[in-house]
Amino acid sequence: MRILAYHVQPYEEKAFLKWSKENNIEVVLEKGLLTLDSVEKAKGFDGVTTQQVIPVKDEEIFKKLKEYGVGQISSRTAGVDMFGLDMAKEYGIAITNVPRYSPNAIAELAVSHAMHLLRNVKRIEKAMSVGDFSWNKDLISREIRSCTVGIVGTGRIGLTAGTLFKGLGANIIGYDKFRNPDADGVLEYKDTLEELLKEADIISLHLPLVDDTYHLINKDNIKIMKDDAIVVNTGRGALVNIDDIIEALESGKLAGAGLDVLECETLYVNQKVGLEKIKGTVVEKLMGMDNVVLTGHFAFFTETAVDNLVSISLDNIKKSIETGKLHNCTNM
Ligand code: NAI
């Protein structure tokens, strides 16, 4: 069995080599994306994997893969919106994914952002950088055990975040369209989002981006939040209306925002774009605010998560070829 891995990043190489050695299967690492120009490289391989946001929606790609006898594209991602799923189905190419690779990776960054903001770390660093080490009354902070954390979306990541916050002593409440039976003993469910927003000191978002979650947090419901609430978003950028968040941060309604994702993030995520590219954008604005912690979609980026993404995607290919059954298949 031979596998071709497209768009391999330097941080993934170690995980590929480890899996290849452990399974005694040849995996050829290719830096380039899976495109119409590069699909021919898949000739002679039994399976392919890729990890890319650039769309794979060209009919010719699926046609060629079928011709080469490759029946599956194993994506090293949770989401598969970059693939033309209907087209893949038409040509009998299964698209498989890694739905769960490390909820802790994302949940830990949510906790970290919340704690940073709660303890005024950015403000303290800023004052210290100009030689002001005083215990300014504006820098006194709340302790997490005196806070109520509202988890919006209590699936894999949300429930893990709730468990971690609870371990630090916070009171946890949750809201979800479909309640998670495993949440018993971790959080108390609220019947509506509004109820949660009224009671939470820290609001942590862990929802998928779908039609009814687009700009879920906006000026209409920010006004019902507690004064000095903190909003943490490690879900998807467009879960919040960022202009409304900025307005609330500037007016003092919100005490802070911890943002790993932004609606405009394709502008900069995983690229060395330079500061000129973000000049005058919301990204520059947020980076300059001392009540904002901004990271460029780094929540998933841990050794454990990358190792799992690589090994589970390769396992999906191996199991499919060995058993003739598809694993984590999203379109068949
Ligand atoms: P999940 O599917 O386990 O949980 C999502 C939860 O949201 C479910 O319990 C679902 O019932 C709930 N939900 C969906 N629509 C809702 C609505 N309209 N109102 C209330 N609840 C609703 O998903 P998981 O694995 O916990 O991931 C959550 C999100 O985290 C993903 O959709 C993704 O956007 C984001 N994510 C971010 C990463 C990062 O690096 N920043 C990495 C991985 C995921």
pLDDT, tens only, 41-55:
999 999 999 998 888
Ligand 1 mean position to 205 CA, how many Å?
A: 8
DSSP 38-103: TGGGGTT-SEEEE--SS-B--HHHHHHHHHHT--EEEESSS--TTB-HHHHHHTT-EEE--S-S-H
Nearest-angstrom CA–CA distance, 226 and 107: 23
In ligand 1, the atom with minimum distance to the C-alpha of 160 is 26
Model confidence at 38, pLDDT cuts 50, 70, 90, reads very high
Indicate if 216 and 159 belong to the same structural domain.
yes
Cα-Cα-Cα-Cα torsion 255, 261, 263, 267, nearest 10 degrees, comes to: 120
Q: At what angle do helices 103-118 and 303-323 cross, to 10 degrees?
A: 160
β-pair partners for 150: 173, 203
- 96 and 171 part of one domain: no
Asked if 259 and 307 sit in the same domain, the reply is: no
51 with 72, same domain? yes
DSSP strand pairing (94-96 vs 72-75): parallel
Smallest CA-to-CA distance from 120 within 102, 136, 101 is with 136
233 CA to centre of ligand 1 in angstroms: 11
Prediction pTM value: 0.91
- Percent over 90 (pLDDT), the chain: 92
Number of domains in the chain: 2
Q: What's the pLDDT score for residue 78?
A: 87
Q: In terms of domains, do 142 and 54 share one?
A: no
Q: Is residue 332 part of a domain?
A: no
Across 114-140, average pLDDT: 97
Parent domain of 274: 103-294
> Rounded to an integer, what is the distance from CA 324 to the centroid of its chain?
31
Q: Are residues 93 and 134 in the same domain?
A: no
Query: Residue 262: which of 286, 236, 288 has the closest Cα?
Result: 236
Q: Is the pLDDT score of 328 beyond 80?
A: no
How much is the average pLDDT of 265-275?
A: 93
Residues 219-264: pLDDT tens digits? 999 999 999 999 999 999 999 999 999 999 999 999 999 999 999 9
51 alpha carbon to ligand 1 midpoint, in Å? 20
Give domain status of residue 36, yes or no: yes
- Asked whether residue 288 carries a pLDDT value surpassing 90, the answer given is yes
User: Do residues 94 and 142 share a domain?
Assistant: no
My answer on whether 185 and 272 are in the same domain is yes
Judge whether residue 331 has pLDDT over 70.
Answer: no
Ligand 1 atom index nearest CA of 239:
34
Residues 246 and 145 in one domain: yes
Q: Which residues line ligand 1 (CB under 6 A)?
A: 78, 106, 153-158, 176-178, 180, 206-209, 212-213, 234-236, 260-261, 297, 299-300
Out of 102, 109, 176, 179, give the residue to mutate to test ligand 1, the one with the largest number of ligand atoms within 8 Å of its CB. 176
Check whether residue 71 and residue 165 sit in a common domain.
no
Q: Are residues 117 and 266 in the same domain?
A: yes
Catalytic residue IDs: 236, 265, 297
Same domain, 289 and 309: no
Residue with token string 């392919």: 48
CATH, residue 261: 3.40.50.720
The pLDDT of residue 54 is 87
SS3 state at 186: coil
